[in-house]
Amino acid sequence: MGAKPDVVDMSDIEIVAPNMKWRLSGVTSTIIQLVPVQARTLRIATLGPGLPGTLPKMHWWQLPTLLHRPASGRRRIWHARRNIEMIIGVLIKSVLRAPLRLVFTSAAQRQHQPFTKWLIRRMDGVIATSERSARFLEVPHSVVMHGIDLEAFHPPSSPEDDFSASGLPGRYAVGCCGRIRHQKGTDLFVEAMIALLPRFPEWTAIVTGRVTAEHKVFAEKLKKRVAEAGLSERIVFLGEVPDIKVWYRRLSLYVAPSRNEGFGLTPLEAMASATAVVASDAGAYGEMIVEGETGAVVPAGDGTALTEAIRLYLADPSLAAMHGGNGLATVRAKFPLEREAAGIERVYQSVWAKP
């Protein structure tokens, strides 16, 4: 350790996971969850803002240490997940001649811009987070899907996890989590609820998530639509909640109606909480959900198909309970965080094995 207790000894660190974004995002959330698991078997440190102090972290003034190999003698790995992080890695390696290996994780499900393709070609290892995102890569790569922390996200285990503890009306809850904006399809969820809830009086709809300044008008229009429908007590906007995990456990059905998505962790978080899921086919949702067993997948942006898929569960809460249990079994078998960490470590080992 260095002079300060929170400063890592860079002579031990073999992997750097940069996070060049202040605001919490899906990438940041991945780093926060994954690094503690990786640190059990790897000498890894994070770099950048917006990360909790509980993570092993190098400081900017320690950047010159990257010009030398760690005590193990291996080249350090710089694991980028954004363009800016690839750019910094390429500069450190190519301009400053640092002994680095560069790894990039791609979640994008679209054609990359020419500059991004140029950056990706300079990586020593490339990871795709889904088969769908892998189709847009033109270089050799490995597919390693995201995992979920099964200790943090778990089925109901106390009275506080029951929907009745929320104090909201109804017997069952259907929810939509994440930032409130057009891209996330929040309006599709709200319109489905306006259409369905009058027919299913035992259900209440929950909307959680941050509203940024540029999407405030969008959110206000949704609340106005709900008020005009006379459903303000049954379609509830909670904003950002202190602990989203307990709300997953309180839901009988989770809806992920995104129009487009990079990967999208929320269905896995819901499934780990034993909650059935209806999702669009955006992101990697279609690769997580087993149609007719753990939930349903509908075309992105198709409000009619989304409403019908939700209706089947509202009409039969026992189906939601059964698919929720199936989803929990699927996540435990295929999506534990440890499985993702092991897949990434295999990529690291292959990068280190290159001459």
pTM: 0.88
Which pLDDT value is given to residue 60? 94
Q: What is the CATH number of domain 15-147+336-353?
A: 3.40.50.2000
pLDDT greater than 90 at residue 106: yes
- 15-147+336-353 and 159-334: identical CATH topology: yes
Report the largest interatomic distance among the alpha carbons of the chain, rounded to a whole angstrom. 67
pLDDT digits (tens, 9 = 90+) for 61-94: 999 999 999 999 999 999 999 999 999 999 999 9
What is the domain partition of the chain in residue ranges?
A: 15-147+336-353, 159-334
Is residue 326 a contact partner of residue 332, using CB atoms and an 8 Å limit?
A: no
CB of 141 within 8 A of CB of 132? no
Cα separations in angstroms, 350 against 18, 64, 319, 342: 20, 26, 44, 13
What single string gives the DSSP state of each residue in 149-215?
A: -TTTS----SGGGSGGGG--SSSEEEEE-S--STTTTHHHHHHHHHHHGGG-TTEEEEEE----GGG
Measured in whole angstroms, the distance separating CA 298 from the mean position of its chain's CA atoms is 20
Looking at every residue in the chain, the average pLDDT score rounds to 94
Question: Six-digit token pair at 182?
Answer: 């057009």
Taking only Cα atoms into account, the Rg of the chain, rounded to an integer number of angstroms, comes to 22
- Provide the CATH topology of domain 159-334: Rossmann fold (3.40.50)
With cut-offs at 50, 70 and 90, classify the pLDDT of residue 262: confident
Query: What is the Cα–Cα distance from 302 to 313, expressed in whole angstroms?
Result: 18
**Number of helices and strands in the chain (H, E):** 12, 12
Question: What span, in angstroms and rounded, lies between the C-alpha atoms of 344 and 310?
Answer: 35
